[in-house]
Amino acid sequence: MSMADITGKNGVPRIERVSPGAAIPGGEIAIQGAGFAARGKARPLVRFGEAEASLLLAAENRLIARVPEGAAGGTVRVATGAGESQPHPIAIGIQVADNLHPVANPAVDAEGNIYITYSGPRGERVPVSLYKITANYNVKPFVTSLVNPSGLALDRTGNLFVSCRNDGTIHRITPEGRAEEWLEGMGIATGLAFDREQNLYVGDRSGTVFRITPKREIMVFATIEPSISAYHLAFHPSGDLYVSGPTTSSFDKIYRVTPGGEVQTFYRGLGRPQGLAFDREENLYAAASLGGRRGVVRITPQGQAELVLSGAGIVGLALQSSGRAIVATTGAVYTLDWDVVGLPLHG
């Protein structure tokens, strides 16, 4: 006798699929299966780990549940008066820091330290502008002198480069936390990324991507439609630069810029795309909404898009070669073990 027959006869719920397969607290998950509701019976109970979720929709074969705060354990279960389903795996992000204000991707160094900004309102100096979260998740003040730090990028020697959108400066921070102004005049400087030759690319959200050589020679690399918030940059293993920059449209583009500076449209149809990252299979991950659902969207090299992680307020992410992902929202940082393998730190 099949499990479907058993469920049909005794009404014990069965989970067949959850979508997407990863979330942070507050994210919405669709659960498909059987035996979730019976006429005249109470609504089913959904638990992520031991934490009870709120239900947004409940039907016999489909539930939509919001992942609760404190969810852990990596599984979801559905219980009714007839019994409880087998646990179904799901990757849940665990909060490791809050009371932050990132506006782009976090940066992660070779030792697993996470760097994250407290960017603050435009033009306002905050007590601590950059934090370091150690590999065992101790949150430490790292730099206090920056105003509106925005983009982060690490060079091959472990120096952290930080853009400041308030005054268009780029700062270099040593691994010990010593900060110096490295460059100025970068407009409304936001996204940062290094290429293989260690040229630094700076996204001026008013419409320009600059290329800065290691000798600090500046050139205009590409011109793109201005963004209302920030440019976010990520390099494909081939050497093409990918750029997102939210506009007032709800059908925004991700651009692909060739090494020669030619701007192409890679994908169109995202809501407010922000931080970008590539995995080892050359899929692109974007903090964005797709079809009205917010989280992290995976776009294949062929341009097929799918929401793969659910969550509100996500502005950036870092995918590590170990399979660990760091997800940054407008106020917090989460870590999760995911079936996504990031690129090596320096290709």
Same domain, 271 and 314: yes
Same domain, 166 and 258: yes
Same domain, 259 and 282: yes
Query: Is 346 inside any structural domain?
Result: no
DSSP assignment string, 292-325? TEEEEEEE-TT--EEEEEE-SSEEEEEE-TTSEE
Picking from 92, 119, 148, the residue at the C-terminal end of a domain is 92
Query: Is 345 inside any structural domain?
Result: no
Picking from 77, 92, 107, the residue at the C-terminal end of a domain is 92
Same domain, 42 and 129: no
Domain boundaries, position 63: 3-92
Query: Is 347 inside any structural domain?
Result: no
CA dihedral (99, 342, 240, 148) in degrees, to 10, reads: 10
Query: Is 111 inside any structural domain?
Result: yes
Percent of the chain with pLDDT over 70: 95
pLDDT band of residue 325 (cuts 50, 70, 90) is very high
Q: Which residues pair with 267 in a beta bridge?
A: 254
Same domain, 80 and 192: no
Which CATH number do you get for residue 290? 2.130.10.10
Asked if pLDDT for residue 4 goes beyond 50, the answer is: no
Range picked from 12-26, 39-53, 114-128 for highest mean pLDDT: 12-26
Domain count, the chain: 2
pLDDT band of residue 17 (cuts 50, 70, 90) is very high
Which CATH number do you get for residue 18? 2.60.40.10
DSSP strand pairing (91-92 vs 22-23): parallel
Q: What is the largest CA-CA distance in the chain?
A: 73
Asked if pLDDT for residue 214 goes beyond 80, the answer is: yes
Same domain, 63 and 121: no
Pairwise pLDDT comparison (79 vs 345), residue with the higher score: 79
Picking from 60, 92, 124, the residue at the C-terminal end of a domain is 92
pLDDT tens-place string over residues 178-197: 999 999 999 999 999 999 99
Question: Rounded CA gap, 207 and 227, in Å?
Answer: 7
Verdict on whether the full-model pTM lies above 0.85: yes
Q: What is the CA angle 248-256-156, rounded to 5?
A: 110
Same domain, 238 and 109: yes
